[in-house]
A = this chain, B = another copy of it.
Amino acid sequence: MAKRTNTLIVTTVEIAGFFESKNLRTHGMQMGGKHVFDFGEIKMTQAIHGLSYEIEGKLTKFGLAAGIIFHSDGKVIYHAGDTALFSDMKLIGQYRPLDVAFLTIGDNFTMGPEDAALAANYLKAKKVVPIHYNTFPLIEQNPIAFCTSLREKQGEYLKVGEWLEI
């Protein structure tokens, strides 16, 4: 898809290297680094999650998992990526007032609802959208119960295909 549209792929240095080898346009970053693009500012954040892939039977260097803080048109979005809860999420909320945070609630592979509720509290995001759940039985969760567990009107449960206006 990126090839057809000539989209710039912003990702970790390691994954950027992989896509570059496929002749795609990339911008490599690392955790804690920030860069201002013409479409907005991106800061790459830590995510605590294993990341290593085999591609065509060959182990491929993919570095560490990451989240992002995306700042554009006066709005700030944090996508935590697949990650465990970590208390430095407080630093992310202090770095920019967040309009929306996307937080995993699936458990087993990432934060579950209880840890995501702590994360929402650390981040102080205006809106929190639960992600990464109910795609298979092991990560079955109730997103409505999760949203109810948050600060009033903070949780925003999106059905497949729904939009969130910020």
Contacts and interface: CB of A to CB of B under 8 A. Distances in A.
Interface of A: 12-14, 28-35, 44-46, 48-54, 58-64, 82-88, 90-91, 106-112, 115, 118, 138
A59 to B, nearest CB: 5
A122 to B, nearest CB: 10
Contacts of A32: 48-49, 83-85, 110-112, 115
A88 B91 contact: no
Contacts of A52: 14, 61-63
Interface of A is mostly: loop
B82 A91 contact: no
B82 A112 contact: no
Contacts of A111: 32-33
B84 A87 contact: no
Contacts of A54: 61
A164 to B, nearest CB: 24
Contact of A59 (B44, B46, B60, B138): B60
Given A51-B63, A86-B88, A87-B87, 17 more contacts: A13-B50, A30-B82, A30-B84, A30-B110, A31-B50, A32-B48, A32-B49, A32-B111, A33-B106, A33-B108, A33-B111, A33-B112, A34-B112, A35-B108, A46-B86, A53-B61, A87-B88
